[in-house]
Structure 1
Amino acid sequence: MRIGVHGLIAGSFLDRLLTRYREQYPAIALEMAEGSARDGIMHLRDRKLDVAFLVGTFELPDCHSRRIWTEPLVVALPSNHRLARRTGVEWADLAAETFLVRHGGTGPQVHDHIILRLAGGWPPPAIHRFAVERGTLLSMVAQGFGITLLGAASQLSPTVGVLLVPIIDEPDPVVFSAVWWPNNRGAALRNLLTLASKMRRTGTTIGSAFAK
């Protein structure tokens, strides 16, 4: 089964889901492809993926989707940042900051979310895009290039020099959805989606602690 992801954090909901699935269905080989939501949907349409786990909710005329889990939103700050020792920050605290986002992965969604939350402010938010992987982006945060946004599961994989602080006035958690081609009625995919729903209901993984 070919699976599209934004990335995989050890101990997260998705990581635990795939681990559990491989334990229960060892005969199914899993192939992983990392990319943005746009990449994932394009590859689904080209039949290069069986399912993609993506940030956001999707209403696509040619694909099925299902909300799988959620995580609170946090801001990644350099450890010496003026806000880094707070227990929480508000969007107004971040308005004058420089945001770093990736071209790939969740970068497009992060960019749009920053624009949405800080719309109407002056000057407009400073957002710099980079063609780097998640680890490099967080290293840039540690070095003081700027700040970025993450799902709370990133707390499971800390980066030296970076502190993650909740955004206390963020009204919505980060939603992660499964998207798949509707003609795929195979048992392998059906079992994966069933297992994901069961794990979210029962709260049996570390990642599910962020799904409330």
Structure 2
Amino acid sequence: MTPNGNALRLLAYALAAVDHGSLRRAARAMRVRESSVSRNIVKLEQHLEVQLFERDVRGVRLTEPGRAWIDVVRAHYEGLLDAFDDRVGDKDAKTLRIGLCCVRGGEFLRGIIARFGSLYPDVSFSIEDVPAGRWLSAIRRRHLDLVFTHDFGAVPSCCSEVFWHERLFVLLPASHSLVDRPVVAWSDLAEMCLLVPVGPEGPLFDLRLLERIAATGGPAVQTCRANQATVALKVQLGEGFTLAEESCARTTAIESTMWKPLAGQNSVSSIRAVWLDSNPKRSVLRLVAVARNRAGDTPSNSGTNAARPGRST
């Protein structure tokens, strides 16, 4: 293998597998076949004469030699990407760049932003949606300062904390028999179709949550090349149901439908903040402190007991 763009391409496959913990999820994020990810990782391992990954039915994880090599190489790789990125020098130190990955925000996020604004009025916010396959790279390359996403556990080479929880609600046709129940379980919906809107960057819901639901006898999942408004129309027409977090369901009324809270396993979404410890902006840690304080002052959130935040690196 010559030291050219092909080496960088092979490394990109390996880093995607590290970040997603699965060849399948890495392939989905990179928009290639799973076999392509596997084949290119094998090429890299053969070139290095090192086994980077252990593979089993649950996914992939780094071997000890693989972890040591990845830890050294990642910083150089992402630094090289930044060297070719003309946006690197355009980062405003007085702006906090927040990413939301499959998260709509909710009262907790609005509250910490309002509190932060009262304490540090000279700092502004830039808030944007970020695809599931890109948020980690965006943090590491400092295109985003902090991302709120569903709880995937500890994030390699980043700091993270779970700050709040939201119950999940399902949107049902108003004529459906389940609307008379105070709560519903996934087993009640097993004969229905869960409609998942898919945008240009992939599904708008947490894919891991959907996989857990499917694995526990839940409803069939049907992806729709449509926005959320079109999916709501499909619900009105009786083609299935969709879901959202409580902060969205409580504030969004849709004619001829009803929101019903879920109960039982996989009925609560935990929201984790992820940031880079080496980010030079003081405002990042200040925002984390505000969120930590608010989480400690909130005994419950959306009907769910708030877990004590735990930091991981």
Q: TM-score range by the shorter chain?
A: 0.7 to 0.9
Residue equivalent to 1:126 = 220
Higher relative contact order (CA 8 A, sep 6+): 1
Residue equivalent to 1:179 = 274
The 5-angstrom pairing of residues 130-209 of structure 1 reads 130-160=224-254, 161-170=256-265, 173-203=268-298, 208-209=301-302
The 1:42–1:112 alpha-carbon spacing in structure 2 relative to 1, beyond 3 Å, is farther
Q: State whether structure 2 residue 48 is matched by structure 1 residue 48.
A: no
Which stretch of structure 1 is more off in the superposition, 129-138 or 189-198?
Answer: 129-138
Residue equivalent to 2:132 = 37
In 1, distance between residues paired with 2:243 and 2:146? 25
In 1, distance between residues paired with 2:162 and 2:124? 24
Amino acid at match of 2:220: A
Residue equivalent to 2:159 = 64
Q: Secondary structure at the residue paired with 2:121?
A: coil
Q: Secondary structure at the residue paired with 1:4?
A: strand
CA positional deviation for 1:208: 3.3
| Cα-to-partner distance string for 1:115-134 (whole Å, 9 max, x where unaligned) | 13327xxxxx4211134444
Amino acid at match of 1:208: N
In 2, distance between residues paired with 1:45 and 1:145? 41
Q: State whether structure 2 residue 104 is matched by structure 1 residue 8.
A: yes
Q: Secondary structure at the residue paired with 1:72?
A: strand
CA positional deviation for 1:154: 2.2
| Cα-to-partner distance string for 1:153-208 (whole Å, 9 max, x where unaligned) | 2233122233222222226621000011121253201111111111122129xx93
Q: For the Cα contact (< 8 Å) 1:142–1:162, is it kept in 2?
A: yes
Q: Secondary structure at the residue paired with 1:14?
A: helix
Residue equivalent to 1:96 = 191
Q: Secondary structure at the residue paired with 1:22?
A: helix
In 1, distance between residues paired with 2:220 and 2:267? 22
In 2, distance between residues paired with 1:208 and 1:167? 15
Query: Of Structure 1 and Structure 2, which has the larger fraction of its residues in helix?
Result: 2
Q: For the Cα contact (< 8 Å) 2:167–2:302, is it kept in 1?
A: no
CA positional deviation for 1:59: 2.0
Q: For the Cα contact (< 8 Å) 1:3–1:32, is it kept in 2?
A: yes
Amino acid at match of 1:154: C
Question: How many residues in Structure 1 have an aligned counterpart in Structure 2?
Answer: 204
Amino acid at match of 2:158: C
In 2, distance between residues paired with 1:65 and 1:94? 33
Q: For the Cα contact (< 8 Å) 2:213–2:266, is it kept in 1?
A: no
| TM-score when normalising by structure 2 | 0.58
In 2, distance between residues paired with 1:98 and 1:91? 11
Highest CA radius of gyration, 1 or 2? 2
Q: State whether structure 2 residue 126 is matched by structure 1 residue 27.
A: no
In 2, distance between residues paired with 1:58 and 1:73? 19
Structure 2: which 5+ residue stretches go unaligned? 1-95, 306-313
The 1:92–1:136 alpha-carbon spacing in structure 2 relative to 1, beyond 3 Å, is same
| TM-score when normalising by structure 1 | 0.83
Amino acid at match of 2:211: D
Structure 1: which 5+ residue stretches go unaligned? 120-124
CA positional deviation for 1:48: 0.9
In 2, distance between residues paired with 1:24 and 1:131? 42
Which of 76, 81, 84 is the equivalent residue of 2:179?
A: 84
% identical equivalent positions: 25
In 2, distance between residues paired with 1:141 and 1:22? 39
CA positional deviation for 1:149: 2.5
CA RMSD, aligned part only? Answer: 2.5
